[in-house]
Amino acid sequence: METVEARILRRILPTEDEEARLREVVRDLMSRLSERIAARGLDAKPILVGSVAKGTHLRETEIDMFVAFPPDLPREALEKEGLALGDILERPVRMFAEHPYSRGWYHGSEVEIVPCYRITEATQRLSAVDRTPLHVDYVLGHLAEGQGNEVRLLKAWAEGIGVYGAEAKIRGFSGYLCELLVLKHVTFRGVLDTATSWRAGLTIEFERPATRAFPEPLVVVDPVDGNRNVASAVSAEQMAAFAHAAREYLARPSERFFFPRPSKPKTVTQLRVLLKTRGTRLVLVTMPAPDLTEDVVYPQVRKAHRSVLDLLDREGFVVLHSASSVEGGEVVLVFEFETFELPKVQVHAGPPAWVKNSEDFLRKWTSSRRRMAGPYLRGDRWFVEVERESTTAADLLKRELRSLSLGRDLDRVARRGLRVRVDADAVRAAYAGVLTTFYDKRFPWER
């Protein structure tokens, strides 16, 4: 009987025609780059990297092309010349990470052209991407015949369960990490078998041991650089999701893990019924998304999310569930409340009676217009009952949000476009997808 993996490979493996076209595009791209490099009088060399170079790519893959410059070239010149080479692409877009690179199209294939420094040892690196050609050499030197397909299965499976990608939006498993896991555990199922017993704090090493301690929940020491954790992007939640999905898949293998059903947004009516059925209150905080890469925006979105949660907690409002995302050109923070409204009176604790500054506390609150009762002693400590400035979570957010530190770029957009939407005003067609995901706690393969 044919296995699930055999059926999946037929769906994810590039066809012979696709492989032939890809090889032709790569040859032509390298030739064009070499011509452009020579025409500009540069000491540089194009290097194919990524999954295409290693034979671990899936269908409709992008091409990653690095251009290696000598280490003594100033960073400013590397960036300038690297971006100029990207002009050979169709519809080139300049991207800004640690240093700029270009993304565009070439003969129907999506391509990235990334400048880097030419090194032979990781200790020589001058920028974060310089190790990438060394990664290609390592994988090609250790990947056994047939293991490329095992990597492909792991990548497709990780993508299907929602944990594929090291970018800030996903905080999951990069392609290189998937390759290393297969090298360590031989097969796709070997990786999953091992993952069922993963625990936070796990360290996986190859020939080079770690040269320092790493704080992340999953540590996979880069075999070309003992100072780097290849799994540094993996969050504790994504690591746990990987382990749970591994147990579920091994118990009941299914193509759903690789190709889950797409989530269908609920209608506004359905969402409003759901909100009423749950008996909770809902608040959406929205603002325009800055025109920046996701790797820049998402850390700020998470910072804003934490700042709002901290504010709500300090003021006594209880959040049942919350989430954050960037959708439709907007940053969207979602909060479902267990305690949305609080009484007008609030107890405020002061110092013990014998502390020297207790007199300051008494003077302040005795003359305060917010005082409703007290100050009085409870045990040896002063307390005062005061009028709460905001009795609902929505009022608190409208009053305090702009004073929070949301992140450099979010602070800027919040000043001109911050909105706080409550209940029916929050349940709109524009946010149906966000709210459907928010309420649907199922894993992708369970849909």
* Residuewise pLDDT in 10s, the chain (447 residues): 789 999 999 999 999 999 999 999 999 999 999 999 999 999 999 999 999 999 999 998 999 999 999 999 999 999 999 999 999 999 888 887 667 899 999 999 999 999 999 998 888 888 889 999 999 999 999 999 999 999 999 999 999 999 999 999 999 999 999 999 999 999 999 999 999 999 999 999 999 899 999 999 999 999 999 999 999 999 999 999 999 999 999 999 999 999 999 989 999 999 999 999 999 999 999 999 988 888 889 999 999 999 999 999 999 999 999 999 998 889 999 999 999 999 999 998 999 998 888 889 999 999 898 998 989 999 999 999 999 999 999 999 999 988 888 888 898 888 888 999 999 999 999 999 999 999 999 999 999
At residue 248, the pLDDT reads 97
From CA 366, how far away is CA 131, in angstroms rounded? Answer: 65
Q: What does the pLDDT read at residue 97?
A: 67
Q: Which amino acid does the sequence have at 35?
A: E
What would the two tokens of residue 113 be? 């052209």
The string over 315-347, giving b where at least 16 C-beta atoms fall within 10 Å of a residue's C-beta and e elsewhere, is: bebebeebebbbeeebbbbbbbbeebebeeebe
Question: Rounded to whole angstroms, how far apart are CA atoms 256 and 9?
Answer: 14
Predicted model pTM:
0.90
- At the second CATH level, the architecture of 4-121 is 2-Layer Sandwich (3.30)
Q: How far apart are CA 409 and CA 326, in angstroms?
A: 14
268-341+391-446 topology per CATH:
Alpha-Beta Plaits (3.30.70)
Q: Give phi and psi for 288, each to the nearest 5.
A: -60, 140
What is the pLDDT, as a whole number, of residue 127? 81
Pairing of strands 202-204, 218-222: parallel
Topology adopted by domain 147-257? Poly(a)-polymerase, middle domain (1.10.1410)
Segments making up each domain of the chain, as ranges: 4-121, 147-257, 268-341+391-446, 345-387
Note the pLDDT of residue 109. 94
List phi, psi (to 5°) of 78: -60, -45
* Euclidean distance between CA atoms 381 and 229, whole angstroms: 50
pLDDT at 444: 96
CA angle 367, 372, 373 (to 5 degrees): 90
Q: How many other CB atoms are found less than 10 A from the CB of residue 436?
A: 17
Q: What is the 3-state secondary structure (H, E, C) of the chain?
A: CCCHHHHHHHHHCCCHHHHHHHHHHHHHHHHHHHHHHHHCCCCCEEEEEHHHHHCCCCCCCCEEEEEEECCCCCHHHHHHHHHHHHHHCEEEEEEECCCEEEEEEECCEEEEEEEEECCCCHHHCCCCCCCHHHHHHHHHHHCCCCHHHHHHHHHHHHHHHCCECCCCCCCCECHHHHHHHHHHHCCHHHHHHHHCCCCCCEEECCCCCCCCCCCCCEEEEECCEEEEECCCCCCHHHHHHHHHHHHHHHHCCCHHHCCCCCCCCCCHHHHHHHHHHHCCEEEEEEEECCCCCHHHHHHHHHHHHHHHHHHHHHCCCEEEEEEEEEECCEEEEEEEEEECECCCEEEEEEEECCCCCHHHHHHHHHCCCCEEEEEEEECCEEEEEEECCCCEHHHHHHHHHHHCCCCHHHHHHHHHHCEEEEHHHCCCHHHHHHHHHHHCCCCHHHC
Q: Which two tokens stand for residue 392?
A: 């609902």
Would 147-257 and 268-341+391-446 be classified into the same CATH topology?
Answer: no
Cα→Cα distances 72→46, 119, 123, 128, 224, Å: 18, 11, 15, 16, 22
